[in-house]
Structure 1
Amino acid sequence: MSFVEKKISVKRSINLLAKNGIQVDDNEGTEILNFLYLIAKNYQYKGGIESMNLKEKSNYKKVR
């Protein structure tokens, strides 16, 4: 599976995992990164006004 707009390189992901005591090679790092991108791609946000940022909250009642 290939993601066009990867914002984190495999090397960086391996370094981040290593900082937390998880040792992986390039192949494992690629698989972990692809898995996380797949989860992020399929995530559906179901937040309400409570989860809006402050600017959105301040304009919420004025518009509606």
Structure 2
Amino acid sequence: MNFIEKNISVEKAVIILFKNGIQVDEKEAKIILELLYLVSKNYDKPKEKKISYP
């Protein structure tokens, strides 16, 4: 999986996770980041429902 713009490095992700009590190595942090980038890429904001009256 290749993302053009990665805003968080793997090393930074390890530090952030560690500060929150989660110990991961770089390989695990990379998987977590890829999952988060994939979720954010595929996220669609909820569309407003149009109410039509008969």
TM range (shorter): 0.7 to 0.9
1:37 aligned partner, one-letter code: Y
Stretches of 4+ moved more than 4 A in 1?
Answer: none
Any stretches of 5+ residues in structure 1 without a counterpart? Answer: 49-64
Query: What CA distance in whole angstroms lies between the structure 1 residues aligned with 2:2 and 2:24?
Result: 20
> Superposed, which structure 2 residues align to 1:1-64 within 5 Å?
1-46=1-46, 48=48
Instruction: State the superposition RMSD in angstroms.
Output: 1.0
Taking structure 2 as the reference length, the TM-score comes to: 0.83
Residue aligning to 2:52: none
Structure 2 alignment gaps of length 5 or more: 49-54
In 1: Cα distance, 2:47 partner to 2:24 partner: 35
If each structure's helix is expressed as a fraction of its own residues, which one has the higher value?
1
CA distance in 1, matches of 2:47, 2:20: 30
Residues paired across the two proteins, number: 48
